[in-house]
Each structure stands twice: as C-alpha cells, then as structure tokens.
Structure 1
C-alpha cells in the first residue's frame, strides 16, 4: 500500500491536477493521497497560500475574488461538479486566525482532487492534533487517522494543518504537507511513502550553484534529515521522523518526469559511489567559537552562555 503526497507545483492548475490524478490511478496500490495548495503556474505567479496570507493581513485590501476565481477556473477546466460557494463565504466573511486562512488552500485543493478522483475527502482538521503549545500530538493523531481511514479503500486529505485542543486550526511550518503525508503513511502502515515534487529527487548540491549536481539514488533517513536541516528543500525536515520511526521507505518522485528513478530514503546504510553524499547550506547559520582561560573548571559556564541563545530564540546545534 502506497501513501502519496503531491506538492503545490504539481497541482498548480487543472492540467497539472489531471496529470497527478493519472499518476495516482496508474497504480491501484496508491490509496491515500495528501495534497498541498496550488503553487505557481509561472514564475511571476503567486502561490495560493501567499494569496490567502495577504488576504488575512489587515494592511492588505481584503479581496477574496482572485482566490475564488483561481479555484473556480480549475473546477471548470476539470469538468467536475463541485459547489464550494459556502466554503468561500465562510473564508471571506467570518473572522479567522492566520493559521485558518493559510490552511484554506490545502482544504480547497483536497476537495477538488477528491471530487475529480471520485474518492472520499477526509479533513485533517479532525485527525491531526496539536497540544496547547502547538506541538504535534503524534499518539492522538495516529489513533484518529486510523479511525478515519481504517474503513476506507481510498481517501484524499489536505496537508499542512490540524487542530489545537480548543478546535482552532493550526498549521505546520511552510512545506508542512510533507509532514502530513508522512503521518498518514505511518498511521496506515504504508509500504512506501511517495513524495511527488518538481525535481527528479535529492541532488548532490543546489543546481543553481553547482551545475554538475546529480540525483542521489539512495540515502539514509539520518543523511536526509541532516541535509534538510542544513538547507536542502526537497522534503520538510520534520517529515523524516514519522516515516523513520515506522520503517517506511520514502520515495522522492518527479510529477513531470514520473519515469525517473527518483531518490529512495531508507534506514539501512547506503553505499555511495562517492565518499560525499551531498552538500547543502543555509543562510542565517553562524558558528560561535568561545575561548577563555580555565573555562573547563567553571561550573555552569556553558549553561549561562547558551541561555543567551535561548533568550533570543536561536536554536543551538552541537557538532558531533
């Protein structure tokens, strides 16, 4: 059984959604589908999620029509019968928090994909849960997903969001639909978690910087987690752990080049032809070197030093 997740670029318009649906239908083992909000159709376009965030902003003109027209165009071109007018009215008129508005793109995208596939729609608002501090409640989430999906042969779910204990919608960080897909795969005991994006897989380096970068055929969970933490953007760094814990292989695939081998992520060690798996980097990353005489004899010195980083909400990484 395969759980699949499609990113925003793969669902940017009706033609892309139609192509993604062909991929899903080409293998009957693809049973559970998690989708992102529609991404850019061309380089100057605006992602749906960014449009929703701008709409929510009090300093921006509150015009929901361009968002509504974008989805209605997709519905018309797909030739499906789907009335989302009540959803548009609620999103447009009711006072909502920022997370709710940011999640609407995934919700509408999933409604459309479910209608096009003629599969059940399952809202992750009622099966992905966070605690009072906004941390994922994995135990409760797994139980709820199993209850909601256990009796279904197929289902389409929106990624990126769930609910707080008080019922308010809460989102993962941007790109969090990858996490949603991994949670569904883990809960349902999938044999494979396919993550469909717009590249052939994990590359050895950023192709915008290194023109000779090539696809990594196989990589371990630990290597992938390290690369995503250091700036590789093919997969959200927090999507690794649910699949890792469940021992589910992740397969990075290209929606626009489905015949490509992609990149496989597994727990076992992978023998690489090259001694270096890949190279990644991120901005806003600094190394601090502290030297002080007899520092090793001062009790509490490290704690006091790191408390400065904690005060300014700076994550600390200790080199192994």
Structure 2
C-alpha cells in the first residue's frame, strides 16, 4: 500500500484534478490519498486557506462575510462545473462554508482552526466524488472517522500515540480513501490543526499508521534541488537524501516538505519520495534511512532569514555554574524558544526567530538578564540569515567547512556566527540577511561546480 499526498497546487483547479486522477489510477497500490486545500496555479490565484483566514478575521471582528463566503464557494463551484460532477457535493460544501459563520465566537480557542481546516475538508469531499464519477471506487474519510486524535494545541497540534492503532484499521477498506490533510480532532472532538503546511504531516502520520511501503508527496517541482532554483540557476537535482538531511534542509528554508512531517515516517522507517504532479514520470527525490550514493559530502545548501541573536559576554562565564540554563529560563519566561546556542568560554549567543520578539519584550529580557546574571556586555543583533550546508558525507571529508568559509570570505561576506552539531550532518553560518543570496551562490559554486 502507498499513501499519496497532493499539495495545494495539485488540487487547485479542474485541470490539476484530472492529473491527480491519472496518477491515482496508474498505480493500484495508491489506496490512501491525502489532499490539501486548493492552492495557486498562477500568481494571480488566491489560496483557499488565505481566503479562509480573511473569512475568519471578518467574522471574528463581526464584519460582513457575504462576499468572502461567495468567493470561497466559487472556487469549489468552478471545479464542480468543469469536472461535470454531481452538484449535490457543492451544496454540501456551501452548507459547510456558510455554517462557519454560525459558530460561537467568544472564548473558543479552536475557532480559527475550524475555519482554516474547511479548505482541506471540502477539498477531500469534492475529490472523492470526482473519483467516483470517473469509475474509481473511493470514499471520503474525515480525520474524526479515521481516528486521527491530536493534542489540544490550537494551530500546533501533535498526533497522539493512540491514533496509530485507529489508523491501522484503514488498511481494511477496499476503496481509495480520500482524507483531508492539515488537521485532526482532539479527544473532546474539537478540530485542531497542525502548523501551516501540515498536510505533509497528515500524510506522514497516515503512512506510519497503515505501515505503507511508500509515502509519495506530490507537489509542483521535480523533487528537491541542491539549492533554491530562484537563487541558483538550474541547480543540481538531488536523487536521494536521508531523513536527517531533509530535516536540516527543510528547517533552513526548503519548503517542498514540512519540516515536522518526516518524524512519523522516520520512526517507522518508511521511504518518502517527492514527485511532481505535472511531471509524474520523473523519478523525483527519495528520502531514506541511508543513501546508496555517498560520493557527495554536501547534498544541499539552504538559507532562511528572520533570525535575531542575543549576544552575552562575561569574564569567567565558563566558571559560573548554571549560566546558560538561567539565560534559557529567562527566555522561556517570555515564551521564546531558542534555535541555536553557539558559545565560547566568556560569551554565548542565543539564536531565535525574530517573529517572537517585540521592542518591549527585548527590553524586558535585557533588563532581566542584567539583573540576574550581571553580564559585561549584552545586546540583540537583528536581520540575520541562517545558511546550512547539509550532508552526512561531511563526517568522512576533511576541509568541508574550510571551503565554505573561504568562499564567503572571497565574496566579502562576513560571518556573524558559525555552528556545527556533534552529528556533523550540517554546518550553520550566520550572516546578514542582505548577503543571503550572494552567499548561497558562493557556496553552491564551491561545493557543486
């Protein structure tokens, strides 16, 4: 059995859905289909999820929602009309969309999740009916019916271990099961979404639950490239990656697959393949426990901006018991998680996402650390990008990091920080964000040209 997930661009309109049908019909092992909400095919399109966010904002602020409701329904209506399928499914979708405006506002932490999940849920209903109309025995299954139970953390749900026994029963169905991605239900029956892009997570969980032989993730690119095609001209296509390598690349900006999506399949040792809905015969990129091709030390280069660094210096810091712990406790007090923490004997840098900071919060953090730890120097540094060079082969190659630092130096790009974990799967460079693209090109030339 194969679990196959189709992203937003793959289910965006009738033309794309015909491609999805052909892919599912071409392999009888494709028995479980996870779908996203309709996304974009062209830049002029608007993602249904974005329309639902607008709908939620209007409803929450008690403004008129008539126009946005019609926009959302029309996205599905155009597909129903072009595919010439049973109109009753559109009535069901319209009822669902309009029904959101009857939900209780007030103290309802799951309201936004319920609005946003409607994109995937109605997409799955439509696609199941479409499959049936083309002679494929199929069935819509909601996450609740499937038994996908998640934690009570709105917009950041995690699967509960008990779900896997529930999901294993899906192997007993004869039909092709069409299941909405992005959300599950809590033990009390509330809709709760994974973080955005979470349809990848749903697919991974389902693959682990039914012990699939393969998890196929269909998107709009021919697999994964060694660098972003928008930054590097015609970068090399990657044939194989390990789970760890993909996790590092996804974290640092490769958006082809959600960075949390690999954990369930990693645990179950189920291989993943990233393929293109618009070019399904292409082999794509396989994600495995270990690579058969081990020649390349570096398999990919990724970059992401939006980071800040909290830099602290204090003479004899290394002799002060619990210094790092106290810094992290103060950040925890202000609901800030750290991403990286490179250090020296008398200094420490804590890298975090800028989106968690405000001017007021920064000032309070600085005051608290000064009060508790009395540092010699402390300040925030903003507008940082994190670059990652990734490859499990780096363990066996000498001078990989030196090549990277030399390449950046030749381009006049200053390193704000450098960090490498004990696993030696990746090396992280911190630079100013305005140098990010130039740095990626320099590193690509060094490792791949």
Could you tell me which residue of structure 2 aligns to residue 19 of structure 1? 19
- Bigger Cα displacement from structure 2, 278-287 vs 214-223: 278-287
Tell me if the contact between 2:139 and 2:175 (Cα under 8 Å) persists in the aligned partners: no
Give the aligned partner of residue 131 of structure 1: 151
The answer to whether the 8 Å contact 1:199/1:254 transfers is yes
Is the counterpart of residue 100 in structure 1 residue 122 in structure 2?
no
Q: How does 1:278-317 map to 2 (within 5 A)?
A: 278-310=300-332, 311-317=334-340
Unaligned runs of 5+ in 1: none
In structure 1, how many angstroms separate the alpha carbons of the residues matched to 2:269 and 2:166?
20
Please tell me whether residue 35 in structure 1 is matched to residue 35 in structure 2. yes
Instruction: Please identify which structure carries the higher strand content.
Output: 2
Q: Which of 207, 224, 230 pairs up with 1:208?
A: 230
Q: Aligned with 1:3: secondary structure?
A: strand
- CA distance in structure 2 between the partners assigned to 1:308 and 1:288 by the alignment: 12
Question: Which one of the candidate residues 87, 95, 98 is aligned to 1:89?
Answer: 95
Work out the CA distance in 1 between the residues paired with 2:204 and 2:153. 22
TM-score by length of 1: 0.94
Contact persistence 1:122–1:148 (CA under 8 A): no
Q: Deviations over 1:287-310 (max 9, x none)?
A: 555432211211121111112332
Deviation at 1:137?
A: 3.2
Count of aligned pairs: 320
Show the 5 A alignment for 1:104-123: 104-118=118-132, 119-123=138-142
Q: CA deviation at 1:317?
A: 2.9
Structure 1 runs of 4+ aligned residues shifted over 4 Å read: none
Structure 2, gaps ≥5 residues long: 105-110, 133-137, 342-419, 422-449
Q: Which residue of 2 aligns with 1:249?
A: 271
What's the secondary structure of 2:34's corresponding residue? strand
RCO higher in structure (CA 8 A, sep ≥6): 1
Cα pair 2:37 2:49 within 8 Å, conserved = yes
- The answer to whether the 8 Å contact 2:170/2:210 transfers is no
Q: For the residues of structure 1 that align with 2:92 and 2:274, how far apart are their CA atoms?
A: 36
Q: CA RMSD in A?
A: 1.8
1:80 maps to 85
Task: Give the 3-state SS of the residue equivalent to 2:255 in structure 1.
Answer: coil
In the alignment, the residues of structure 1 paired with residue 174 and residue 229 of structure 2 have an alpha-carbon distance, to the nearest angstrom, of 41
Superposed, which structure 2 residues align to 1:133-282 within 5 Å?
Answer: 133=153, 135-282=157-304
Q: What's the secondary structure of 1:143's corresponding residue?
A: helix
Q: CA distance change for structure 1 residues 275 and 282 in 2, over 3 Å: closer, same or farther?
A: same
- State the shift of 1:153 in Å: 4.0
Q: Pick closer, same or farther for the CA change 1:2–1:148 going to 2, 3 Å.
A: closer
Structure 1 position 315, deviation (Å) = 3.1
Instruction: Please say which structure displays the higher CA radius of gyration.
Output: 2
Task: Report if aligned partners of 2:218, 2:275 keep a CA contact under 8 Å in 1.
Answer: yes
Contact 1:219/1:270, CA 8 A, preserved across alignment: no
Q: Residue 427 of structure 2 aligns with which residue?
A: none
Q: How far apart are 1:166 and its partner, in Å?
A: 2.2
Q: CA deviation at 1:136?
A: 1.7
Contact 1:150–1:188 (CA<8 Å) still a contact in 2? no
* Structure-2-length-normalised TM-score: 0.68
CA distance in 1, matches of 2:203, 2:22: 19
